[in-house]
Structure 1
Amino acid sequence: MAYQTLLTTLENNTLIITINRPEKLNALNSTVIHELGKVIDEVYENASIKSAIITGSGEKSFVAGADITEFLQLDSSQGEALARNAQQNVFDKIESSPKPIVAAVNGFALGGGCELALACHFIIASDNAKFAQPEVNLGIIPGYGGTQRLVQIVGKGRAMQLVMTGEMITAQDAMQYGIANKVVSQSELLQTVKDILQLIHTKAPLAITKVIECINNFDHTQQGYDFEIKKFGECFSTEDMKEGATAFIEKRKPNFKGN
């Protein structure tokens, strides 16, 4: 299948999915979200695909957040629908995939990009990778599972700090926090992930599926995600959200007023 914003290559039963919007640092827009949903369906359905890698084009960015230009016209209910659609059709499907899906983070993984990586079964990062949930700078919160998945990985206190400050952390910090499993050079990144997946391919596929199911269901409910989606949608009725998004587009500091 041909995609506008994705490049796909099947190699040794691993589908390499490359988000290909380098001029926008591979930011997520509605087309990317739609096409990611379609390609994840292909991972589920195509028997020749045993695993998948998600990465970004170029050496600068994995996914540098969402495309903020799409946010300004949304009200509360539309913001909630945006988050729910992406969660159900992309992020939850990645997390629940019966086949391993690994993030090869090759640069900036910010906002929705960090959440996309967190939804994968694990992360391998290049040494220039940077991670952040900077949504508070736009007057919103993570809407694609960030407040839920990050807590599971790094713990409540560290997640609180990262999400409330929006601070960016290095690949080495991400590995120390448990976000990334391994940090390698940019040139080694894809091959490292391929090698890990080839090892997994030697294991019993049904057992791998059950491993994913069991680990995903450890003290894990939909309630937290639904609550996050609702709160994400509520942000779109605030003036601060409009100010944050406008300031981002105009390349200036936002003037938040708490309304």
Structure 2
Amino acid sequence: MDRGGPVATVTLCRPHVLNAQTPATWERLREIGRELPGDVRIVVVRGEGRAFSAGLDLAAVSGGAGDGQPTFQRIAEADPAVAEQIIAGYQEAFGWLRRPDLITVAAVQGHAIGAGFQLALACDLRVLTDDAQFTMAEVTLGLVPDLGGTKRLVELVGYARALDLCVTGRRVPAAEAYAMGLANQVVGGAELDATVNDLVARVIAAPRDAVIEIKALLAAASERGYPAQEAAERAAQVRRIRDLAGLGE
């Protein structure tokens, strides 16, 4: 992780395997989430080289990840409750990116497959290069997406499109991803860094407490009816007005 003031950049650094992920990757991501300084406001997630992430390192499937972490074979042989606890630890690696006090941005080039797609989905915003492709490929291995991606995918594109992507494992090019709401922006490869930096600057320019309140309101909106959402808006606005008046807690 690199830090520049209120912005932290997390880079997957396995370009020789297109940033394929292993249990060790997830453990490090979980550690970063736990160690992140409280004054960080924005986290940018990116992949080194020509791909964001090719998903699961297949060595982890065969039991040869070589990193001392539980392999699929160990999960298969474990008591189901223990196996679910192992997967829960992997989910924590992505879950912290949804924290209400952070705005998280995925800068995606090339392939984002399986766990790579889910990592991008865990972020609040996604900026894609025009050669980027999303693929929910777990079904091709006889598996299900299990890193939080199913809920976010349905929220973004709806049930029918999410089902299509998950059960067919088809590739979604950048233009289609933008059209269906999976991408906030699509740019040429040479423009990715500048576009992400501009987005970060615009978020940083907004008052942090207002951004936190807005994210919380939007994140819960789909689960509330209008009366509950309006009540949440009222409470948030009173907190903001009191704070601006110097009367906040």
The reply to whether TM is greater than 0.5 is: yes
- Residue number in structure 1 paired with 2:206: 203
**Correspondence for 2:115:** 112
Question: Equivalents in 2 of 1:191, 1:42: separation in Å?
Answer: 27
1:163 matched to 2:153? The reply is no
Is residue 96–residue 213 contact of structure 1 (8 Å, CA) maintained in 2?
Answer: no
2:125 alignment partner in structure 1: 122
Amino acid across the alignment from 1:142: P
Shift of 1:69: 2.1
1:68 to 36, 58, 65: 58
> How far is the alpha carbon of 1:79 from its aligned partner?
4.8
Report the secondary structure of 2:145's partner residue.
Answer: coil
Which deviates further from its counterpart, 91-100 or 10-19? 10-19
Q: Within 1, Cα distance between the matches of 2:29 and 2:147?
A: 14
**For the pair shown, which has the larger CA radius of gyration, 1 or 2?**
2
Give the Cα–Cα distance (whole angstroms) in 2 for the partners of residues 86 and 185 of structure 1: 32
Alignment check: 8 A CA contact 1:14 1:194 kept:
no
Q: CA deviation at 1:12?
A: 5.2
What number of residue pairs does the alignment pair up? Answer: 210
Pairwise CA distance, 1:42:
3.6
Maintained 8 Å contact 1:133/1:146: no
Amino acid at match of 2:84: E
Q: For the structure 1 residues 220 and 112, does the alpha-carbon distance in structure 2 shift closer, same or farther, using more than 3 Å as the test? A: farther
Give the AA of the match of 1:81.
Q
Structure 1 residue matching 2:126: 3-state secondary structure: strand
Residues 219-258 of structure 1: matches in 2 within 5 Å? 219-220=222-223
Q: Which runs of 5+ in 2 are unaligned?
A: 62-71, 225-249
* Secondary structure of residue in 1 paired with 2:191: helix
CA distance in 2, matches of 1:91, 1:42: 14
- Unmatched tracts of structure 1, length 5 or more: 1-7, 222-259
Query: Match for 1:140: what amino acid?
Result: L
Alignment RMSD:
1.8
Q: What letter is aligned with 1:40?
A: G
Report the CA distance between 1:185 and its aligned residue.
Answer: 1.2
Check conservation: 2:94, 2:122, Cα contact below 8 A: yes
**Contact 1:18/1:54 (<8 A) preserved:** yes
In the TM superposition, what is the alpha-carbon distance from 1:220 to its structure 2 partner?
4.8
Give the TM-score normalised by the residue count of structure 1: 0.76
Distance in 2 separating the partners of 1:11 and 1:184: 24
The answer as to 2:41 corresponding to 1:50 is: yes
Per-residue CA distance 1:35-93 (angstroms, 9 max, x = gap): 111222343x242x32110000012x101111232234131736533431122x22221
Once the two structures are TM-superposed, the CA of residue 134 in structure 1 deviates from its matched residue by 1.1
- Partner in structure 1 of residue 184 of structure 2: 181
**Which structure would you say has the larger RCO, counting Cα contacts within 8 Å and 6 or more residues apart?**
1
CA distance in 2, matches of 1:81, 1:22: 30
How far off its partner does 1:97 sit?
4.4
User: What whole-Å deviation, never above 9, does each CA across 1:166-224 have from its counterpart, x for those lacking one?
Assistant: 00110111001100011011111122111111111111101111122222223359xxx
Query: Shift of residue 13 of structure 1?
Result: 3.0
**Partner amino acid, structure 1, of 2:88:** R
Query: Runs of 4+ in structure 1 displaced over 4 angstroms?
Result: none
TM-score, structure 2 as length reference: 0.79
- Deviation by residue 1:4-46 (Cα, 9 ceiling, x = unmatched): xxxx322353212110011121111111111111222343x24
Match of 1:28 in 2: 21
- On the 8 A contact 2:178/2:184 being kept in 1, the answer is yes
The one-letter code of the counterpart of 2:8 is: L
Letter in structure 2 aligned against 1:134:
A
Equivalent-residue separation in structure 2 for 1:122 and 1:79 (angstroms): 31
What SS does structure 1 have at the residue aligned with 2:182?
coil
Specify which of 73, 81, 84 is matched with residue 85 of structure 2. 81
Aligned 8 A contact 1:136 1:163 in 2: yes
